[in-house]
Amino acid sequence: MAFETKEEILQKILEMTKPNCPHCNTEMSLWEVPEINFSDGLGWGTPYMFVCFNDDCPSYNQGWDNLKENMEHYASYRCINSPGSSNFEYMPVFSPSGGKGQIIGNDEIAMRESFKEAMKQGFSLLTDFFVAGDWDEIMKVLLSPEYPPRVRLKAAQMVGDIGGSDAVEHLVNYKFPSKPLQEAVDSAVQKLHERHYTRECPYCAEIIKKRASVCRHCQRELTSC
Ligand SMILES: [Zn+2]
Ligand SMILES: [Zn+2]
C-alpha cells in the first residue's frame, strides 16, 4: 500500500458521505484526532474520525449516568466511526465541549480550499516568472508574507538559481519568519555567491568579489579564500 500523507487522507475522506450516528441518526462530524491520544497505548490508526457531537444523542446522554455509576467518573462517550469502515465505537469525553475543538467544519474546509488555491496560483506565477527569467518578481514573492510558506520556499530556490548579482543584498537584509525558509534563503545566498564569484567582506559585511585582496567598501586587507 502506498504511503499517504495526512492531506491525501483528508482529501479522500472529504469525498465520502458523512455517516449518520446509529444511535440518533444525526449526521456525524468530521473530526481531527488530537496529537496526544488519551486512550493509553491505543493508536487510532487514522488521523481523522467521524464523531457524533449531537448533545441530544441518547447514547451520549446515557453515558454520563453509566460512567458515573460504573466507573465513578464524570465523563461520557461519543459515538465514533473510522472513515470507510462500518464499525461504530466510542471515545470518552469529559465535558460536553470535549473534543469539539477538533471538529473540521465547513469553514475549515473552505479555508483549506482557499489556501490550496493560493498555493496553486503562487506556483503558477513563479513558473511564469522563472521561464521569463524575471528574478525581480520572484524576489517580490519571496519577500511577501501573503504567499503561503511553500510558495516562498520555492521562490527562494528559484532566486538562488537565476538571481542577479544584487539579489544577495535583498536577501541578507531581510529576516525570514521560519527556519525552513531561512535555510532555503541561506543556501540561495551561497549559490548566488558562487555563480557571481562574490562573498561577504568579513569586516563590513558588504558584498565583494571573491578574489578581492582589499575590500572596496572598508578598504581592509583581505586574505583570499
Ligand atoms: Zn448520536
Ligand atoms: Zn569591507
Residue 223 included in any domain: no
**Total count of domains within the chain:** 2
Q: Cα(15)–Cα(75) distance, rounded to whole angstroms?
A: 33
Ligand with smallest separation from the Cα of 200 = 2
- Does 94 lie in the same domain as 43? yes
pLDDT at res. 42: 53
Ligand with smallest separation from the Cα of 60 = 1
Residue 225 included in any domain: no
Q: What percent of the chain has pLDDT over 70?
A: 93
Taking CA 158 as the corner, what is the angle to CA 153 and CA 164, rounded to the nearest 5 degrees? 130
- Collect all residues with Cβ–Cβ distance below 8 Å to 101 and sequence separation of at least 6: none
- Does 158 lie in the same domain as 127? yes
CATH number for the domain spanning 129: value is 1.25.10
- Does 75 lie in the same domain as 41? yes
Number of H helices, E strands in the chain: 7, 6
Give 62 or 67, the one with higher predicted confidence.
62
Ligand with smallest separation from the Cα of 222 = 2
Domain stops at, among 73, 102, 131: 102
Neighbours of ion ligand 2 (CB under 5 A): 201, 203-204, 215, 217-218
pTM of the model: 0.63
Ligand with smallest separation from the Cα of 217 = 2
pLDDT at res. 173: 85
> For residue 189, how far is its CA from the centre of ligand 2 (angstroms)?
18
- Residue 41: domain span: 6-102
Ligand with smallest separation from the Cα of 205 = 2
pLDDT tens track for 94-106: 888 988 988 998 8
Residue 109 included in any domain: no
> For residue 225, how far is its CA from the centre of ligand 2 (angstroms)?
15
pLDDT at res. 44: 66
Residue 216 included in any domain: no
- Does 155 lie in the same domain as 84? no
Q: What percent of the chain has pLDDT over 90?
A: 60
Residue 127 included in any domain: yes
pLDDT tens track for 125-147: 999 999 999 999 999 999 999 89
- Does 196 lie in the same domain as 129? yes
Q: Cα(167)–Cα(160) distance, rounded to whole angstroms?
A: 9
Residue 215 included in any domain: no
